[in-house]
Amino acid sequence: MNDSTTTASPVATTIANTRVDRAGALIGYLPVGFPTLETSIDAAVALVENGVDVLELGLPYTDPVMDGPVIQKATQTALENGFRLRDAFTAVEAIRSRVDAPILLMTYYNPVVQYGVDRFADDLVSAGGAGLITPDLTPDAAGEWLATSDRTGLDRVFLAAPTSTDDRLKLAVDNSRGFVYVVSTMGVTGARGDVDAAARTLVDRLRGAGSTSACVGIGISTSDQIAEILAYADGAIVGSALVRALSEDGVAGVARVAASLARGTAR
């Protein structure tokens, strides 16, 4: 996040607050509509009730090129069960009526364009959402979204990868609001036994580019990994481990896993 950004960011504020009395933030991902819309809402509420600080809700998409098999299967189920993009706004509004945590939508950019960028942003604001994570949109190609998010005050999270040049990292830092999403390893999402050491180097590079809020995702599945990441980053993002728990053990299962992961945020 760029210090010069004047619009208050609910996500950045939440993350900064976790650094005061804990090691940092836990960001939890679940797809909207999996296995049903109602259950996905209950599961997201359970995440917050069990230690997740920021919610990342994924919009099911027919060609999820960045997602691993666990998330791909879940999003396919959501689509087969009738997910429609407007369901995302329904979910955000319902979750926000029950828990007080900022909600980011993770979405490929094409559905936003098809819906209408301004309309999408306005509906997200009306629902109580905080902003977007756009994995396939780079800052230099995001002119319309940058203008719309400035108009609405929505957060915008861009990705940084180990292969990013210094110039690309600077672009991500200067244009992100909320945090910069640090891709800890190349490839698709999915829990791994070890989180790449490249993540620490990448966070250091982002700090050098002026980042004040950097969160690491992809491959995180244990509280020990979260504790390791929060020694140098501002937040840890967990997806596949939570989706797998929801798939196998329902809302109660995802609540248990979230509570276990949250122990990694203790200082």
Known catalytic residues are 56, 67
Q: Are 243 and 45 in contact (CB under 8 A)?
A: no
Give the Cα separation of 247 and 22 in Å (integer): 30
Closest listed residue to residue 25, CA positions, set 260, 261, 234, 266: 234
CB atoms under 10 Å from CB of 49, counted, come to 14
- 3-class SS at 73? helix
Q: Percent helix, strand and coil across the chain, each rounded to 5?
A: 50, 15, 35
Strand segments (E) across the chain: 25-31, 54-58, 103-106, 131-133, 155-157, 159-160, 180-183, 214-217, 235-238
Residues in CB range of 35: below 8 A, 6 or more apart: 74, 77, 78, 81, 246, 247
Specify which residues 54 forms β-bridges with.
Answer: 27
